[in-house]
Structure 1
Amino acid sequence: MRSTGPLAALAATAMVFVLAGCSGPSSGGDLSYEDSPLNKYLSAAYGGDLSPEEQQKLSEERQAQTEELVAKCMSEEGFEYAPNTDNGSGMMTSAEGDWEPEKREWVEKYGYGMINSPFAEKQQEATEEEYVDPNQDYVESLSESEQTAFYETLYGPTPDEEEMGEDGSYEYRWEDAGCQGWAQHEVEGENADPFQSEEFADLRTKMEEFWTSSQASPEFSELNSAWAACMDDAGEPGFTTQQDAIQSIIDEQTALYDAAYGDGSEPVDTESADFEDPNESAAMKELGEREIELALVDLGCREKTSYAKKSLEIQFALEEKFVADNKAELEAFKSAAEQSK
């Protein structure tokens, strides 16, 4: 099997950043992120008002709709295709307690949850069950050229060097992603994310600027200075903000992936005897140990400075002002999000 590693790792990297954002003030005394003034607006679009079971059900329904459309598209292009609703693309829900970066017992096991993640453990458990592609026998019955045509019709042609870009990045366009891209667009069009619509372009810009500027606020700067001084005293100097500590692990993990998969411009033969899975490497294991060591020192400094509680207090105060200044646009967004479900 050949794989272009950086593309495959892109989604994982995106999840890492999401989790990194959650791994700071996930709990702050009597406060929680559910108290966020912005949460009642954003949750309308991103399922925060649904239970994990409801989110899973919604994900499965959309997956089934997508696969039915893929089968229709492939048939029109002259190929057989059995809807595949067990291909691992559904939502992975988590039970309460899976993500507890403010608890020492959790940090001792997972650090920041980057290298050794409770979600990775769940995924491993899920993949231990034998997976059978309902289209495998049909694809194997095709000639090599027919198989190439099958996959290009299903997923679109492989990006060339120009499309990949010098840094290995790739701008996804559903129009170039074959029947899968078309089907996903059709289903998501019915449940479109209003936040990405032109109607809310100004609100998007304002929120992006808000998230950036809030972290640079005097209140956060003061809190981070106290945290950084504690880290320096504990033998972990060089960090300006708490996010910097998390990012240092992300950067090292990314470097290990890059070393194994290259820049994405050339396919990597993952079945070659010379290939070493970076996730199974000694370097990754060592980084996982370093992650836990750093995260424990970080946790101690967060506890000493009441970082979680103060972070939420600061963030919510800033959000209250943002909501007051942009209430009409946020209400319109919330209304559009609720109608899109």
Structure 2
Amino acid sequence: MRTRRLTACLAAFGASAVVLAGCSSSPEGSGDAAEQTSPLSEYMSAVYGGDLSPEEQQAQYDEQNRQIEEMVADCMVEQGFEYIPNTSNGTVVSSGDDVVWEPDDREWVQQWGYGAVNSPWNDQPVDDSQEYVDPNEDYVASLSESEQTAFYEALNGPSPTEEEMAAMEDGEYEYDWTTAGCYGAAQHEVYETQDPTQSEEFAPLMDAMDELWETTQRDPRTAELDAAWSACMDAAGHGGFATQADAQNSVYEKQNELYDAAAPAEGEEYVGPDQAAMDALGEEEVELALADLDCREETDYRQTAQDIQFELEEQFIADHKTELEALKAASEQD
């Protein structure tokens, strides 16, 4: 059975279309790159709800969550368990109006770096007015240890194997809803029906879009641009990065190492990573991000990369116009 998934590359590619359409802002004098609209944004905004207000998106997510939870409840009863639909666990959509994301603004980068260790979202107030309560908590607690294990396997599928965990860490794991319990089946049913990108009808188009991202990365002009950026970083004392994305990823990798090192032994309380080490990484992040910004400005990185992307997107649209129009129409159906 074929299982569809939205790969990290496709997610980033699809998001870029919306981001470049207006979710990012550029500092004064930074050029027009952030103000230009991706050719594919017309289609991807329809697919990912970019044309909906935050309230409309929230209503959409709430309705999907309600449908999923009701299906999960029916499935769990069939498996011999009780289950109360948990309608309070859906996604909460934030408009982000109070958060500014400006990775090309020097003052912003001086404060946040890449937004990894420290982020403007960390300062957002948390609404504690509605405390989360799992409606199935008491029922699960009444079960024996073996029954609890069976309950969660029925709900979410068996725990991942060591091989699957390794694949997750390497970014090579492919989700299969058929092994994800009642939740997997319910989510597949809802998203297969309401998200056309997950349907077999548009599988060839989604595969082609994955390939478009890879084609962009393989383009000789992209390699030339990354080489110029890498040489600039090396001259600035930050060598070892083949592509611009490698610099940012290096911070997240080091951050993950700190969290992994803080993982408690069985039965111990989790206390989090060493704060001094995290603070030091935050300072390192800002220094690296500023050097990255300097080299991006020196090589006109963003505008050049965007020009390459947009040119390839235009060709992609010309080659897949019929499929894209069908995808947009399917996404806009009520």
TM class by shorter-chain length? 0.7 to 0.9
Task: Name the amino acid aligned to 1:52.
Answer: P
Report the counterpart of residue 323 of structure 2 in structure 1: 329
1:202-241 to structure 2, matched below 5 A, reads: 202-241=204-243
User: How many Å separate the matches in 2 of 1:255 and 1:151?
Assistant: 29
With over 3 angstroms needed to count, the CA separation of the structure-2 counterparts of 1:301 and 1:170, relative to structure 1, is closer
User: Would you say 1:150 and 2:151 are equivalent positions?
Assistant: yes
Aligned-pair CA distance for 1:44: 1.8
Aligned-pair CA distance for 1:130: 3.6
Instruction: Report if aligned partners of 1:64, 1:85 keep a CA contact under 8 Å in 2.
Output: yes
| 2:272 aligned to which of 270, 273, 277 | 277
Report the counterpart of residue 8 of structure 1 in structure 2: none
With over 3 angstroms needed to count, the CA separation of the structure-2 counterparts of 1:190 and 1:321, relative to structure 1, is closer
- The answer to which structure, 1 or 2, has the higher relative contact order (CA under 8 A, 6+ apart) is 1
Aligned-pair CA distance for 1:191: 0.6
SS of residue matched to 2:313? helix
Report the counterpart of residue 3 of structure 2 in structure 1: none
User: How many Å separate the matches in 2 of 1:181 and 1:150?
Assistant: 14
Q: Deviations over 1:69-127 (max 9, x none)?
A: 2223333434332221223x4144341443221222322232112222334555x8357
1:1-341 to structure 2, matched below 5 A, reads: 18=12, 27=26, 29-32=31-34, 35-87=37-89, 89-96=90-97, 97-119=99-121, 122=124, 125=126, 130-161=131-162, 171-192=174-195, 194-259=196-261, 269=265, 271-272=267-268, 277-278=272-273, 282-339=276-333, 341=334
Task: Name the amino acid aligned to 2:272.
Answer: D
Instruction: Report if aligned partners of 2:39, 2:313 keep a CA contact under 8 Å in 1.
Output: yes
With over 3 angstroms needed to count, the CA separation of the structure-2 counterparts of 1:63 and 1:98, relative to structure 1, is farther
SS of residue matched to 2:143? coil
Aligned-pair CA distance for 1:156: 2.4
With over 3 angstroms needed to count, the CA separation of the structure-2 counterparts of 1:312 and 1:282, relative to structure 1, is same
Aligned-pair CA distance for 1:281: 5.0
SS of residue matched to 1:56? helix
With over 3 angstroms needed to count, the CA separation of the structure-2 counterparts of 1:295 and 1:128, relative to structure 1, is farther
With over 3 angstroms needed to count, the CA separation of the structure-2 counterparts of 1:315 and 1:167, relative to structure 1, is closer
Task: Name the amino acid aligned to 2:219.
Answer: S
With over 3 angstroms needed to count, the CA separation of the structure-2 counterparts of 1:258 and 1:328, relative to structure 1, is same
With over 3 angstroms needed to count, the CA separation of the structure-2 counterparts of 1:150 and 1:201, relative to structure 1, is closer
User: How many Å separate the matches in 2 of 1:270 and 1:127?
Assistant: 30
With over 3 angstroms needed to count, the CA separation of the structure-2 counterparts of 1:56 and 1:14, relative to structure 1, is farther
SS of residue matched to 2:140? helix
Q: TM-score, normalised by structure 2?
A: 0.78
Identity, in percent, stands at 54
User: How many Å separate the matches in 1 of 2:329 and 2:109?
Assistant: 39
Where does the alignment leave 5 or more consecutive residues of structure 1 unmatched?
1-10, 262-267
Task: Name the amino acid aligned to 2:41.
Answer: N
User: How many Å separate the matches in 1 of 2:267 and 2:317?
Assistant: 52
User: How many Å separate the matches in 2 of 1:161 and 1:237?
Assistant: 34
Aligned residues: 315
Instruction: Report if aligned partners of 1:156, 1:176 keep a CA contact under 8 Å in 2.
Output: yes
Aligned-pair CA distance for 1:294: 0.6
Q: TM-score, normalised by structure 1?
A: 0.77
User: How many Å separate the matches in 1 of 2:102 and 2:249?
Assistant: 18
Aligned-pair CA distance for 1:162: 6.3
User: How many Å separate the matches in 2 of 1:105 and 1:64?
Assistant: 43
